[in-house]
Homo-oligomer: A and B are copies of this chain.
Amino acid sequence: MDALRVGIAGLGTVGAEVVRVIERQERTLAARCGRPVRVVAVTARSKAKKRGLDLRGIKWAKNPLAIATDPEVDCFVELIGGVDEPAGPAIEAALAAGKSVVTANKALIAKHGLKLAALAEKHGVALNYEAAVGAAIPVIKTLREGLAGTDIDRIYGILNGTCNYILTRMEQEGLSFDECLKDAQRLGYAEANPAFDVDGHDTAQKLSILASLAFGTKVAQSAVYVEGITSITPEDLRAAADLGYRLKLLGVAVRTPQGIEQRVHPTMVPRSSSIAQVMGVTNAVTIDGDGIPPITLVGAGAGAAATASAVVADIADVARGIRAEPFGRPVAKLAAISKAPMQRHEGGYYLRLMARDHAGTAATIATRLAEQDISIESIVQRQPDRAADGNGKPVKSAPVPVILITYATSEDAVRRALQAVQRDKVISGRPQVIRIEKN
């Protein structure tokens, strides 16, 4: 059978690694795919840049669009990044020209995925993006093909390595968020402008893609409720450990009686759960299928080699003629999705309040929660290190943290109870409210 002729736009660390892997795995790929896979054209911003690649015999195209429309290219691989020019139009052109497309671009799939999927469908070609979520963790393939016959109730995961790295360091070393962020930036795990990661937007983009595949809904990042990790303190991580939980930034999409709820927020997970074991930059996704025990997929969520592994597997699927609709079913059959009204969210809560007077405050808080029919699973009044004098006795004026775990209740009830507590003027500052996700 004829070789699959691959054109690659973008030769950053991932693009260069894809070229290397296809070269190194030449025989394996040919055996697996039943035909050779060959890189025939590439392009990047700078042709002169040293990449340690032997590009002899490979055409250098003047721009991504030239590869996308090159009649000698069968499969267009987009590794440029960015949601609009030049990545978006090049992918559109390639699909319109009847070429299958492979991309690692989560932002583009989250924003323009539906339009591109419709185009892929129309032309009967593949649009593969395994690397866009969780790099080499085969979560897209698992949702799109591996669980094709399973009703999914919930999917949740650690989808951002930067945040998990920061939370891991904070927990293990008792450091502040700011200290860990600085370290993460120094080590290259966080961007100079970290907001996209630490505010939860990266997780939200990935979650919106997974939710579409899991529930047959339209990809809609705007329908995701998002909270980041900047308000998390070492105190919260310590308290989590004491209470049998671990704190993770989760993306959660869940089927509720009100519809599909998509949310990203710091989350207490039971310490014994698979997801709680995932430390550092590692990513993980847990899928709860109807009637079947959870399936958890764990691995690196980033890195050139892991990302290239997924890109090459996507190319191999094209070479083999393996093709599923980009979102698992035709775009026309994807249901609309609206933003989850979080006040109707139901679940357990971790609450940390700074009590002004540590004698009566716990009782006041308990009363206010009881008024909203909220049952308390545990309540701990902690003695912070700084609130003690030289003899270890508490300093009367320093606020003392009161930490509560509630049984399942509604977010609305929690908000009302906390407003009442604030009106009572027994706490200082803003209460810390962290949702609990049971496994």
Contact = CB atoms under 8 A, between A and B. Distances in A.
Interface of A: 21-22, 24-25, 28-29, 31-34, 130, 136-138, 141-142, 145-151, 216, 274, 277, 282, 289-300, 303, 305-306, 308-310, 312-313, 315-317, 320-325, 328-330, 333
Nearest to A334: B31
Oligomer: number of copies: 2
16 contacts: A21-B149, A21-B150, A25-B151, A28-B216, A29-B148, A32-B324, A32-B325, A130-B146, A142-B142, A147-B309, A148-B313, A149-B316, A150-B313, A289-B309, A292-B305, A295-B298
A261 to B, nearest CB: 20
A309 B150 CA distance: 6
A303 B292 contact: yes
Nearest to A304: B291
A292 B315 contact: no
B149 A142 contact: no
Nearest to A298: B296
B292 A295 contact: no
Interface of A, helix, strand, loop or mixed by DSSP: mixed
A52 to B, nearest CB: 15
A315 B324 CA distance: 14
Nearest to A301: B293
Nearest to A135: B292
A24 B147 CA distance: 14
Contacts of A291: 305
A149 B320 contact: no
Give me the 5 closest cross-chain CB pairs, A-B, nearest first.
Answer: A149-B312, A138-B146, A148-B316, A295-B299, A293-B300
B25 A137 contact: no
Given A141-B145, A316-B145, A322-B323, A293 B297 contact: no
Contact of A33 (B29, B32, B141, B148): B148
Contacts of A296: 296-299
Nearest to A121: B34
Contact of A146 (B141, B315, B325, B328): B141
Contacts of A151: 24-25, 28
A312 B145 CA distance: 10
A312 B295 CA distance: 16
A216 B27 CA distance: 12
A313 B146 contact: yes
B31 A149 contact: no
B320 A324 contact: yes
A287 to B, nearest CB: 9
Contacts of A308: 149
Given A28-B216, A292-B303, A312 B148 contact: yes
Contacts of A315: 149
B295 A137 contact: yes
A73 to B, nearest CB: 18
A295 to B, nearest CB: 4
A340 to B, nearest CB: 22
Contacts of A141: 138, 141-142, 145-146
Contacts of A25: 149-151
Most chain B C-beta atoms within 10 Å of own C-beta, residue among A137, A309, A310, A333: A309
Contacts of A295: 136-138, 297-300
A320 B149 CA distance: 12
A34 B329 CA distance: 8
Nearest to A333: B31
